[in-house]
Amino acid sequence: MDSRQPPKRKKADLPLLLCALLAALGILLLAGGALFGSKKSEETPAAAFDEAAYLEGLRRQAEALCNSVAGVSGAEVMLTCETGFEYRYTAAGKPEVTVYPRPNGVAVVCVGGDLPQNQKKIIDLLSAAFGLSSARISVAGKA
- Strands (E) in 59-135, as ranges, are 73-81, 86-89, 95-99, 103-111
The CA-based angle 105-67-108, given to 5 degrees, is 25
| Residue type at position 114 | D
How crowded is residue 139: how many other Cβ atoms within 10 Å of its Cβ? 25
Q: What residues in the chain have per-residue pLDDT under 50?
A: 38-46
Whole-number Å distance between alpha carbons of 20 and 15? 9
Q: What is the pLDDT of residue 90?
A: 85
Residue 98: how many other CB atoms lie within 10 Å: 13
Where do the domains of the chain lie, and which CATH numbers do they carry?
44-141 (3.30.300.30)
| pLDDT recorded at residue 124 | 95
- Residue 13 has what pLDDT? 67
Amino acid at residue number 132: L
Is 0.75 topped by the overall pTM? Answer: no
Element at 35 (helix H, strand E): helix 13-67
Mean confidence (pLDDT) of the chain: 80
SS3 state at 121: helix
Q: Cβ distance 96 to 90 under 8 Å? A: yes
Q: What is the pLDDT of residues 82-107, one digit of tens each?
A: 888 888 888 888 888 788 888 999 99
- pLDDT (tens digit per residue) in 55-70: 899 999 999 999 999 9
**What distance in Å separates the CA atoms of residue 64 and residue 67, rounded to the nearest whole number?**
5
